[in-house]
């Protein structure tokens, strides 16, 4: 459960990712930002571009979005950074060892189906490589300390499960490449989440409502 306790940090499932070919790592370039190769940067671009729809698989519960809120060390900012833990994608400081170079996608949580979540992340990243999707410039400031006018310029993760399902309806072609996902799977996933999770929770009074309204 990503956010079991009100007022405390939630529980994430940060996913470290790298690509290799013929036993050689593909994400390292000593001259790139954070030691990243062009391929790694494009991979990041794909994940950040598709993040609103991708979260339908990496953060697939209503409770997921109680975790993804500002102020609790949650990665709500859709940017990347070397060492900055407030970004959705962090570049771990690994020195000059090419084999250790990787990216860390910090948004996912353990309410996800790992088969679907890992496949979806890979498809988003590969789409970034295929189309050479450039992410926005890396952000090295502490995103928790930004002034309001600066914070408005930083893209944020969606705030509810319904929002990411709507994003998935609009953006899923990258998942269909190579028949890794099918339209039937995506449509069934969206329908199930709405009918079995979103709607039932919306119909049930929350305990906090009694504190707010019982005496009214």
Mean pLDDT by 10 residues, the chain (216 residues): 88 96 95 94 98 98 93 87 85 89 96 98 98 94 79 91 98 98 98 97 92 89
DSSP 145: G
Say how many C-beta atoms besides its own lie within 10 A of residue 182's C-beta.
11
All structural domains of the chain: 15-213 (3.30.590.10)
Helix (H) or strand (E) holding 172: none
CA atoms of 33 and 203, how far apart (whole Å)? 48
Give the torsion sign (CA, 44, 139, 169, 54).
Answer: positive
Closest of 4, 199, 10 to residue 108, by C-alpha: 10
Q: Given the structure tokens 């993804």, which residue do they identify?
A: 68
Residues 6+ apart with CB under 8 A from 66: 2, 3, 10
CA atoms of 48 and 43, how far apart (whole Å)? 9
- pLDDT for 145: 76
- pLDDT for 117: 98
Q: How large is the greatest C-alpha to C-alpha distance in the chain, in angstroms? A: 68
- pLDDT for 199: 97
Say how many C-beta atoms besides its own lie within 10 A of residue 64's C-beta.
27
Environment class of residue 22 by beta-carbon count within 10 Å: exposed (0-12), middle (13-18) or buried (19+)? exposed
Closest of 110, 114, 106, 128 to residue 174, by C-alpha: 128
- pLDDT for 93: 87
CA atoms of 140 and 32, how far apart (whole Å)? 15
Q: C-alpha angle with apex 65: 196 to 89, nearest 5 degrees?
A: 125
Give the torsion sign (CA, 68, 73, 77, 79).
Answer: negative
- pLDDT for 68: 92
SS3 25: strand
CA atoms of 50 and 175, how far apart (whole Å)? 10
């Amino acid at each position: 459960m990503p956010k079991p306790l009100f007022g405390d940090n939630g529980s994430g499932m940060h996913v470290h990712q790298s690509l290799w070919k013929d036993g050689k790592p593909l994400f390292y370039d000593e001259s790139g930002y954070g030691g990243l190769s062009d391929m790694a940067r494009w991979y990041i671009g794909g994940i950040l571009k598709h993040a609103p729809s991708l979260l339908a698989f990496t953060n697939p519960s209503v409770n997921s979005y109680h975790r993804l809120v500002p102020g609790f060390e949650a990665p709500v900012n859709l940017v990347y950074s070397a060492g900055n833990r407030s970004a959705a994608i962090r570049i771990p400081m690994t020195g000059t060892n090419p084999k250790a170079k990787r990216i860390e996608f910090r948004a996912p949580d353990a309410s996800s189906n790992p088969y679907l979540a890992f496949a979806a992340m890979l498809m988003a990243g590969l789409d970034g490589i295929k189309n050479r999707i450039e992410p926005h410039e890396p952000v090295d400031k502490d995103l928790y300390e930004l002034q309001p006018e600066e914070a408005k310029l930083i893209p944020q993760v969606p705030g509810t499960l319904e929002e990411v399902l709507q994003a998935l309806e609009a953006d899923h072609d990258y998942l269909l490449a190579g028949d890794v996902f099918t339209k039937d799977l995506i449509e069934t996933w969206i329908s199930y989440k709405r009918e079995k999770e979103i709607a039932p929770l919306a119909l049930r009074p929350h305990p906090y409502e009694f504190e707010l309204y019982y005496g009214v």
